[in-house]
Structure 1
Amino acid sequence: MRYYLGLDNGGTNTKAALFTPDGTQVAVESVATAALTPAPGFVERDMEDMWRDNCAVIRGVLEKSGVRAEEIAGVGLCGHGKGLYLWGKDGKSARRGILSADNRAWKYLVEWRKDGTEERAFALSCQHVMACQPVSLLAWLRDNEPETMKNIRWVFECKDYVRFRLTGEARAEITDSSGSGLMDLHTKSFSKELLSLFGIESVWDALPPLCASLDIAGHITPEAAALTGLLPGTPVIGGMFDIDACALAVNVTDETNICMIAGTWSINEYPRRAPITDGSVLMNSLFCLPGYYLIEESSPTSAGNNQWFIDRLLPELKAEAKTAGKSIYDILNDWVDSFAPGDFVPVFLPFLTASNVDPRARAAFVGLNASHSRREMARAVYEGITFSHRYHLDRLMRSRPDRSGTIRLAGGAARSKVWTQMFADVMNMPVETVSAEETGALGCCVAVAAALGDYKDAADAAAHMCRSVSRVLPRPDAAKVYEEKYALYLKTIECLNALWPDMQRFMEEHHA
């Protein structure tokens, strides 16, 4: 039998999954991402722990499935985009990795927007600068950790670091690299001019050679084989940004439909033959299919907020769920489903780690009263996250002639019927979900299948390996009510805009 191994290094979990050539998921192994928050706005990860986690999930999925190492035809990887993973000249990680939820460099965004740096950079990169991009984080390190900057041998994205440990080959894959702020999207190469604009010229020689998603970028080394259980010499493809992988997994391979990913990040995207260069969307990057660009609106304002709500405000719910023989998400879904769209619940702003409106904005429940319980708050969290996706969708739709097409939904929300219906109602568009739960890993395996010649190309592989299992239509009455609620959400943000600078100033003065 022939299998593909997909590795998905996200902001929440590290996963390994095995798929067959027809797209059947055989087994999955997962461990939680051990994120560290040493200061407000900082989100980091120990890179050695990260490597050990990848080795552990690979060993685990092989053991769980009973699949032999020689049956693995190839390995594909994806990982969260943005963030920063540095390898030192001394042959070990130069510092902790920085995840994409990190917001430490927000001040640079404010400065670059004021002095025109962002506008000049956009002409080359075709993307607005974000605090979590390598360009911003490298500028922060230049000013705050100069010794780290001197020790950099390689600048990696998340999954490129994992591939480096698996193969010993340093490569920068194009979908991730084109979202880093370091690449000229017109020439499809790293840009010295961009590095100069951001004042980080010193890392030019630390940018690895570029490779494409479907390139064979290396092979499993004997050392990695001993740690993972894989066969030495097993081919490893370039892989891709996890949002590209999810688009493949839900079979969004052209301009027809929209891919939404409700995970740690709110990802909203579609492939297009040309980038949008008028500044109306957040980002353009190279898509994993040749000839396409990925048009993206995103922010860390999605289901990661729901996980915080569970962990911090509902710690006893896990015990309740176990007693009831349910998952904690089943209970939350029941709570949320007990309200009608027109029932008033507080407005929740899902800005726990960062926002999509102002880099200083913070999360909030607005409109709480004494009659409200954790049930109303749970409903508010679901709605607030969905409204954040709607905010991004409206920006995406500026570049499309109408609201035709379907939303293909992936991520945690796609596993909830009530949340999927909420997405359809709030967006006022049909929403489809797919059979595979591990969409990131499936997208990797779609790419492996194409890279090894088992299908004509990645689009052909996606068409054969990805299956839509549900289609949910918007309910006209609910859509009308949500339109009013969404207007309240936007008005809440507008009213609080004047607060964020003062709140940020107070926190800095008091070292909050």
Structure 2
Amino acid sequence: MAKKVFLGLDNGGTTIKGALYDAQGNEIYLATQKIGMFSNVPGHTSRDSEQLWQANIKVIQDIVQNSGVQPEDIVGVGVTGHGNGLYLTKKDGSPAYNGIISTDSRGTRYAEKWIEDGTFDRVLPKTHQQVWHGQPTAILKWFLENKPEVLTETDYIFMCKDYVKYRLTGNPYGELTDMTATGLMDVENNTYDLNLLKEYGLESLINKLPENKKATDISGYITKEVAELTGLKEGTPVAGGMHDIHAMTLATGAVQDKVMSVIAGTWSINQIVQNTPVVSKEIFMCTSFPPNKYLVTEASPTSASNLEWFLQEVLKDVQLPDGQSIYDYSNQCVRETTPSEEDVIFLPFLYGSEQKACFLGMKAWNTRAQLIRSVYEGIVFRHKHHIDYLIQFGGVDIEKIRLAGGVVNSKEWLQMFADILQKPIEVVKVQELGCLGAALCAGVAAGVYEDIDDAVEQSMHLNKMDTYLPNKENQEIYNKKYQNYREYENILRPTWHQ
């Protein structure tokens, strides 16, 4: 069995994944565990942090017992997880409260107030990101005003992956890609700022914010207790790890100039690594990216999950031929229709906090296949909206796009991305991008790779990619449809505010 193997753990919203990789980025073994969420109060989404930790243990146990890899051959562990939200933790590692997911909206009124009263304008030059309800800033403010006793019992304010790292190592470190996405830090200086915290009224919590490591630093080592629980070797180094969107960008190899990383899953995530930061009220987020770069991101919860809902709810009773999945059927519908066939527009806002999803321009002669095509197109149009913002307000230059997420299983959808965006689309053939990105951090921390660029070079090969080139014949058709999409959105925006 191959030596110098890395373990990457990815703590998503509903699934915990772990995978082993060799130095060339080849996946050796994958294990998963499902974990539930609580939504007992409207707008609150959380989960049992102890259950999260136990799921990580089970994933590691599965890998050690069933991968065929010896524990001593696992030379490093990297961890990633969803960004934002909040994991309040006591010194002994036990949760001070349930872990809070970034979809939680209990802090909405604080984010809205900070926009209205000018706080956002004052903090932006340091935070380089918008204020919104899923950030620790808004959630912590809610706790201060509604459950201050929880914060009294809290020793550490962690992000998801950093809570897991604490349980693995006993060292209470945060990490810069995650913490610079929280609104709590001066992004260019990679430091907490007391005056910044005062703007939110959170200055009393500064001593509960953890010291930060870089993504490829060693944050600690697998403890004896964890080694006995999981089968990992005691003393195995654990890397700082990454915020999941950074880890996925790293895994796609989109870390060089003019190459954009696009992730189409629950969220429409569109981002590019830059040498200089972007500070704009129109851009969602600009965060630290190792070693001394920035990840500029435009995002919203408007991507492939819209199609998932449509297939599960609207088409759940469709009778399919034996052996054909609902996904095969939807791809067939797109294949059998054309961009110019009909002007039905779908707005992909099923999961937006304010906007509402809808079909526009329907007539009695429209077919089911045309509606399905409009869902595919509407999701890509929203990605284009974000990418256009990055070009206009972020000043970024894009030559090609590396695409990941659920859409990579649909050739029809991938070609649609190329035609609407009019950029070459490269698809990296990696199943679990988050796990791979975390594992590459572990490889650098363990000294197998010299740095991030070396990790990308050794693990990324062109034979792992498929490329889709834009069809110029569809450009004008899609441009007109996109203009209709934008006009519909602008017309409806006042009704959403009401």
| Correspondence 1:129-278 to 2 at 5 A | 129-278=131-280
3-state DSSP of counterpart to 1:342: coil
1: distance between equivalents of 2:270 and 2:78?
A: 23
Identity %: 39
**Does the 8 A contact of 1:280 with 1:398 survive in 2?**
no
Q: Structure 1 residues 41 and 384, CA, compared in 2 at 3 Å: closer, same or farther?
A: farther
The structural deviation recorded for 1:422 is: 1.4
Deviations 1:254-302 (A, max 9, x none): 2221111112221111111111124342211100x21211111112222
Aligned partner of 2:310 in structure 1 is 309
The structural deviation recorded for 1:345 is: 6.4
**Does the 8 A contact of 2:237 with 2:446 survive in 1?**
no
Aligned partner of 2:422 in structure 1 is 428
Aligned partner of 2:23 in structure 1 is 21
1:381 aligns with 2:363: no
**Does the 8 A contact of 2:84 with 2:182 survive in 1?**
yes
1:111 aligns with 2:116: no
Q: RMSD between aligned alpha carbons?
A: 2.3
Out of 428, 435, 440, the residue aligned to residue 441 of structure 1 is: 435
| Correspondence 1:81-96 to 2 at 5 A | 81-88=83-90, 92-96=94-98
Letter in 2 for 1:234: T
Out of 411, 415, 419, the residue aligned to residue 409 of structure 2 is: 415
Aligned partner of 2:341 in structure 1 is 343
1: distance between equivalents of 2:20 and 2:363?
A: 48
1:390 aligns with 2:384: yes
Letter in 2 for 1:5: L
Q: Structure 1 residues 136 and 447, CA, compared in 2 at 3 Å: closer, same or farther?
A: same
Aligned partner of 1:65 in structure 2 is 67
1: distance between equivalents of 2:349 and 2:379?
A: 9
Aligned partner of 1:486 in structure 2 is 482
The structural deviation recorded for 1:402 is: 7.5
Aligned partner of 2:78 in structure 1 is 76
Letter in 2 for 1:37: S
Out of 329, 332, 337, the residue aligned to residue 331 of structure 1 is: 329
Between 1:369-378 and 1:203-212, the stretch displaced more is 369-378
1: distance between equivalents of 2:90 and 2:391?
A: 43
Aligned partner of 2:296 in structure 1 is 295
Deviations 1:164-183 (A, max 9, x none): 11112111100000010000
1: distance between equivalents of 2:329 and 2:102?
A: 29
3-state DSSP of counterpart to 2:155: strand
Aligned partner of 1:364 in structure 2 is 358
Out of 481, 490, 495, the residue aligned to residue 491 of structure 2 is: 495
Aligned partner of 1:455 in structure 2 is 449
2: distance between equivalents of 1:383 and 1:30?
A: 32
Letter in 2 for 1:459: D
Letter in 2 for 1:190: Y
3-state DSSP of counterpart to 1:78: strand
Deviations 1:171-226 (A, max 9, x none): 11000000100001132111212211111223211111111001110111222223
Deviations 1:110-147 (A, max 9, x none): 22111100010101111121221111111222233333
Letter in 1 for 2:80: C
3-state DSSP of counterpart to 2:24: coil
TM-score (ref. length: structure 1): 0.90
TM-score (ref. length: structure 2): 0.93
2: distance between equivalents of 1:166 and 1:308?
A: 36
The structural deviation recorded for 1:403 is: 5.3
2: distance between equivalents of 1:218 and 1:439?
A: 23
**Does the 8 A contact of 2:188 with 2:277 survive in 1?**
no
2: distance between equivalents of 1:472 and 1:183?
A: 39
Between 1:423-432 and 1:46-55, the stretch displaced more is 46-55
2: distance between equivalents of 1:245 and 1:90?
A: 28
The structural deviation recorded for 1:157 is: 0.8
The structural deviation recorded for 1:68 is: 2.1
**Does the 8 A contact of 2:291 with 2:452 survive in 1?**
no
Out of 329, 350, 353, the residue aligned to residue 352 of structure 1 is: 350
Q: Structure 1 residues 374 and 94, CA, compared in 2 at 3 Å: closer, same or farther?
A: farther
Deviations 1:2-55 (A, max 9, x none): 211111112343211111111111121223442333344333222122112222
The structural deviation recorded for 1:439 is: 1.2
The structural deviation recorded for 1:442 is: 1.2
1: distance between equivalents of 2:118 and 2:409?
A: 43
**Does the 8 A contact of 1:261 with 1:267 survive in 2?**
yes
2: distance between equivalents of 1:114 and 1:272?
A: 30
**Does the 8 A contact of 2:240 with 2:441 survive in 1?**
no
Q: Structure 1 residues 304 and 162, CA, compared in 2 at 3 Å: closer, same or farther?
A: farther
Aligned partner of 1:509 in structure 2 is none
Count of residue pairs the alignment pairs up:
494
**Does the 8 A contact of 1:9 with 1:79 survive in 2?**
yes
2: distance between equivalents of 1:270 and 1:207?
A: 28
2: distance between equivalents of 1:89 and 1:474?
A: 54
**Does the 8 A contact of 2:48 with 2:99 survive in 1?**
yes
The structural deviation recorded for 1:351 is: 2.3
Q: Which runs of 5+ in 2 are unaligned?
A: none
Letter in 2 for 1:144: N
**Does the 8 A contact of 2:93 with 2:166 survive in 1?**
no
3-state DSSP of counterpart to 1:34: coil
Q: Structure 1 residues 301 and 12, CA, compared in 2 at 3 Å: closer, same or farther?
A: farther
The structural deviation recorded for 1:90 is: 7.4
**Does the 8 A contact of 2:10 with 2:80 survive in 1?**
yes
